[in-house]
Amino acid sequence: MRRGFKAQAERLATAARAELGIDECGRLCPWKFAEHRGMFVWTPKELGLSDQDVAQLTLHDPDSWSGVTVRLGDAAGIVLNNAHPRTRQANTLMHEISHVELRHKAGQAMLSDDGLLLMTDYPSDQEDEANWLAGALLLPRQALLHHRGQGSSVLEIAADYGVSDELCTWRLRMTGVDRQLGVGRRSPFG
């Protein structure tokens, strides 16, 4: 990850909230953010895929993918695996939005029969940046400091922000919030 990127991501998260009139500790809905940025969000079924293809992607092998960015000219859209829990979809959507926001270039691209450009396989440094920015957009460090300072648990914070417990735990660990606040090694959901 580029030097200074983590601080930049927190600033981008603050700016995104300000753009939408959301308090710095407020919840940012990924679907509303995508709409605000002019991005489309689809499920496989909404792409007009055959029932057999939709079943393959969402029933038979749903763990093989989470989301993909689609570009058509200057427009960007994101296809989400709606077989995943809504909390995972939120993280996936924000991750894909982050790739677009950061103007990342995929290592590979495929052209569908309909002429859509499917971006795949971002370099690992870009994946790391998209992960970090997605986390900052969904759970800004300032919000984590506020809620943990108020005694909120991982489960409570995750529920309030519509994200998975795993993402909340990761952000608390990676931002050093619990260490800063002196939150001891208690239950991972405490």
Number of domains in the chain: 1
Which residues 6+ apart lie within 8 Å of 24 measured at CB? 14, 17, 18, 140, 142, 143
pTM confidence score? 0.86
pLDDT of res. 4: 92
Question: Is 124 domain-assigned?
Answer: yes
Question: Is 175 domain-assigned?
Answer: no
Expressed as residue numbers, the domain containing 95 is 5-138
Pairing of strands 117-120, 67-72: antiparallel
The tens-digit pLDDT sequence of the chain (190 residues) is 789 999 999 999 999 999 999 999 999 999 999 999 999 999 999 988 889 988 988 999 888 889 988 877 778 899 999 999 999 999 999 999 999 999 877 666 555 666 554 555 666 788 899 999 999 999 999 999 999 999 999 999 999 999 999 999 999 999 999 999 988 655 555 5
Question: Is 41 domain-assigned?
Answer: yes
pLDDT of res. 41: 96
**CATH number, residue 9:** 1.10.10
Q: How far apart are CA 88 and CA 63, in angstroms?
A: 12
